[in-house]
Amino acid sequence: MSLDIGALLLQTVPFARTLGITFDTVGDGQAVGRLPDRRELHNHVAGPHAGALFTLAESASGAAMLSALGDQLERAVPLATSAAIEYRKLAKGEVSAEARLLVTRDEVVAQLDAGERPVFDVAVDIKNADGTLVSTFTVTWTFRPNNRP
């Protein structure tokens, strides 16, 4: 039985569910999430609010990260440590976020095996339904090893 990472993320992050974020694909260090076009999510120029775009991008980055490293959750907790987003064009309508892990799974696992605390980035492109790039986002994640007695 395989784990549905998108469903797991939406179950554990209620705010993403509140916004109506869904996942088209999740796997192999990549994820595509989607934010619906809903009036209550709009800003003053009738596009998705910056906070909604940020949440979509962070959620997609988490799904991408978990798709490659979710089996490490018994020994470490993933935490976002910083994020940067660049709003390039006015987003309109439904938008999607395409996230990709910028390190290999083996690199992160090797650091955990060595007793280190891995730090790594996930890049995200946010696009309008027509494929226009509207925002870019990078989130830095770490895996904090679990404290065991």
Handedness of CA 14, 15, 17, 23 (dihedral sign): negative
Q: Output the average pLDDT for the chain.
A: 93
| Poorest-pLDDT segment among 9-23, 44-58, 88-102 | 9-23
Question: What is the pTM for the complete model shown?
Answer: 0.93
Residue 128: beta bridge partners? 95
Query: In a 3-state reduction of DSSP, which class is residue 129?
Result: coil
Q: Quick: pLDDT tens for 45-59.
A: 989 999 999 999 999
- All domains of the chain, ordered by start, with CATH? 5-145 (3.10.129.10)
The pLDDT, as a whole number, for residue 146 is 87
The pLDDT, as a whole number, for residue 11 is 85
Residue 35: beta bridge partners? 95
